Amino acid sequence: MQLLRIDCLGKILRLEGSMSGWQALYWDNQLVSQIVASADPAESTEHRFALMTGSGEEIECVLTLSLTWQPFNLEYELAVEDQKLGSGELVEKDIETQVVENVVKQPNKISILGMASLGLKLFKSAKVIKVLFAAGSLAAYSWLFSFEFALALILCLVFHEYGHVRAMKRFGLKTKGIYLVPFLGGLALSDDRINTRWQDVYISIMGPVFGLFLSLVALVLYWLTDIEILAGIAAFNALLNLFNLLPVLPLDGGHVLKSIAFSVNSVFGLVICVIGALAGVVISYYFGMALLGFLLAVGSIEIVLEWKHRHSSQLLPLARYGQVVSALWYFATVGGLCWVIWILGQQGNSALALPLQILGS
């Protein structure tokens, strides 16, 4: 993860690191110092490196660090030619709000995979694709249900994804907008990478939170007007967002679970994620949800990769306070969505009772 980003002799000095003790120091995207991972990483480290000025002069520099992870605190001092150039202290809030640069990678030789990746990036960046996907989604859902229901479903999907977009902008991330994928739902994309587990939790859960808000507004309007389409939007939107909070990757609930679990303890985190995956298997088998089974398979791979690279995680873990807040926020959102479904299930309308029947079957 990016731990430090400061000015040094007119160029950016950037420090990347992980909880394993590995640190890499870049000056103008060029590696100038590195500390290898250790089974017992030290809290205090020192980077000694030399920089070349435009005139060819070599300058000796020293970056001294004192780092603790929970609660996160980083104290640094930069000296150039034995003269103190700058110092400071960073906490978790600073890590969340700083501009995160992508690590520069060496260009690969031309390959089918590389060309496919480039094609995908161009594909995602084209605005016309958003329109085509939206039209395809409207046609697909109209074919499955009805035109009116398709419009309502797309409204729910867009509002959910807008919650993710707003959360990304909250942390200053550049967004590429919302993509509606026929039969699969929606995607909110960003070119920037996150730097903390809290960002992952916040961005993931804000989609269902916006969905809960939409359901509550539709429910109140239904009580005021007795227009049944509003009740239908409230009920099925609540079910849609509740599905997204299932604790399996890559669903929103899976991201929240992973961030909390791997912040508490790595072994405990793997156990919790495995339990979540097994619960997803049972649910997908019991309800015949092939899509959920597919998502579970993708999520299981991500969990294994997370476990394999847990010591070199690129995300700052949640502090104790963040773990508690994330868990409470998650269960409060789940409870709110379930309440909407339960209230509408008592109306005596078979259509409005369907989401409750799905949950209780």
Examine residue 250 and say whether the peptide bond preceding it is cis (omega within 30 degrees of 0).
yes
Q: Which helix (H) or strand (E) holds 84?
A: strand 83-91
Question: CA–CA separation, 233 vs 239, rounded Å?
Answer: 10
Question: CA–CA separation, 325 vs 305, rounded Å?
Answer: 26
Question: In a structure prediction context, what are the per-residue pLDDT tens digits for the chain, which is 361 residues long?
Answer: 888 888 888 888 888 888 777 888 998 888 988 888 776 777 888 999 888 877 777 889 999 999 887 778 889 999 988 888 888 998 888 887 777 766 544 444 445 555 555 555 555 555 555 555 555 555 555 555 556 666 777 788 888 888 898 998 888 888 777 666 665 666 666 777 888 889 999 999 999 999 999 999 999 999 999 888 888 888 888 888 888 887 777 788 888 888 887 777 666 666 766 676 677 667 666 655 555 566 666 666 666 666 666 666 677 888 878 888 988 898 889 889 888 888 887 776 666 666 666 656 5
Q: What is the pLDDT of residue 224?
A: 92
Question: CA–CA separation, 359 vs 194, rounded Å?
Answer: 34
Fold type of domain 2-97: Lipocalin (2.40.128)
Domain ranges of the chain: 2-97, 122-188, 193-361
Cα 20 to chain centroid, rounded: 22
Residues 6+ apart with CB under 8 A from 31: 24, 25
Report residue 254 as tokens: 């899976």
Sheet holding 83-91, edge to edge: 44-52, 58-68, 73-80, 83-91
Q: What is the pLDDT of residue 106?
A: 44
Question: CA–CA separation, 10 vs 80, rounded Å?
Answer: 13
- Pure H helices in the chain: 92-97, 112-125, 127-144, 147-170, 197-225, 228-244, 252-264, 266-287, 290-308, 320-345, 354-360
Question: CA–CA separation, 242 vs 240, rounded Å?
Answer: 5
